[in-house]
Copies of this chain bind each other. A is one copy, B any other.
Amino acid sequence: MKKIINNPESFVDETMAGIHYAYGDRITFLNGDNRILIKNTPTPEGKVGIVTAGGSGHLPVFLGYVGQGMIDGCAVGNVFASPSASKMASMIEACDYGSGVLCLYGNYGGDNLNFDMATEEVEFSDIKTATIRVKDDVASSPKESAGKRRGVAGMVYAFKIAGAAAENMLDLEGVTRVTEKALQNIRTMGVALTPCIVPEVGKPTFTIEEDQMEIGMGIHGEPGIHTGKLKTADEIVDIMMEIIMGDIELSEGDEVSIMVNGLGATPLEEQLICYRRIHEILDAKGISSYMPHIGEFATSMEMSGVSITLFKLDDELKELLSQPASTPFYTNHNK
């Protein structure tokens, strides 16, 4: 296990200490609990709170997006494990600025269960909540059962849209409506080349042979839809784009934002080579692109591979995507 760590048991605590030391001027632990991070900058009374939660091991998801213009709070669990319902409830209470809280998170069993309990719990404190489960991974279930899909990198676009809508002082119904619209327009698919290692386990929890790749693999190593010999970048992109574009209606004149997300160990050069192919495929169909997101947005520690996310824009979504944001790992400035 070639990791730069101290011991597996302290992996999450020490990561959180790093976050705290580095960005403590704008994010803080709620009541000193190092598994609940909230924004530390002024928030207007009446703004809808946006919160998320999930397991560790996916940075910058989720913590890296706590900040101005994105999310207000985040609870994290151990690596690939949901935080508890009570931590989620404390976070929701801390992020209620008087107009309710949107719980926006990936569609995973543990997170669903715990958030359901947490939102019930805060009802007793008269906090209004809404829930959106992100289900952008087209490989995780066929279109007929899209409700079972997992949430992956497209979640970052959802944080951006919800955060911007909340900054614009939309009410909880308004923020929820536009975030749901965004997610109807977001599709992701990934390919993995190498596995990742959960520190406490100490060895890969699955294997991918030396000359193989797995298309559609989840960010915790959930099985994909095709395992086969490693293909070229263009062939891989073509396979993924065909599936994504079969799942969402896109036609000439449409505009999308393209996210190419490295899963942890894939060089930026390779991500750009993939971006190039995606751009060419869309361009040939008369589909233009806006505000690319290329880099590591949602990872699986040292997993090698990429995911592609398409986000179809309309005027409202484009405006919200363009609004400034400033968080430890997502900053946009003038576009």
Contact = CB atoms under 8 A, between A and B. Distances in A.
A125 interface: no
B294 A296 contact: no
A302 interface: yes
A301 B273 CA distance: 13
Of A11, A22, A57, A59, most buried by chain B (CB within 10 Å of CB) is: A22
A280 B267 CA distance: 30
Interface stretch (A1-9, A99-107, A244-252): A1-9
A43 interface: no
Interface string A257-300: 00000001111111111111001100000000100101110010
Interface stretch (A112-120, A158-166, A216-224, A325-333): A325-333
A210 interface: yes
Contact of A302 (B265, B295, B328): B265
Copies of this polypeptide in the complex: 2
A267 B301 contact: yes
Of A3, A210, A230, most buried by chain B (CB within 10 Å of CB) is: A3
Nearest to A326: B333
Nearest to A193: B2
A22 B279 contact: yes
Contacts of A276: 14-15, 17-18, 21
A146 interface: no
Contacts of A265: 264-265, 302, 304
A268 B299 contact: yes
Given A4-B193, A22-B279, 19 more contacts: A2-B210, A2-B304, A4-B191, A4-B236, A4-B274, A5-B232, A5-B273, A6-B232, A11-B273, A17-B276, A18-B276, A21-B289, A22-B272, A22-B275, A22-B292, A56-B269, A59-B269, A267-B301, A295-B329
Interface of A: 2-7, 11, 14-15, 17-19, 21-23, 56-57, 59-60, 64, 191, 193-194, 210, 230, 232-234, 236, 264-276, 279-280, 289, 292, 294-296, 299, 301-302, 304-306, 324, 326, 328-329, 331-334
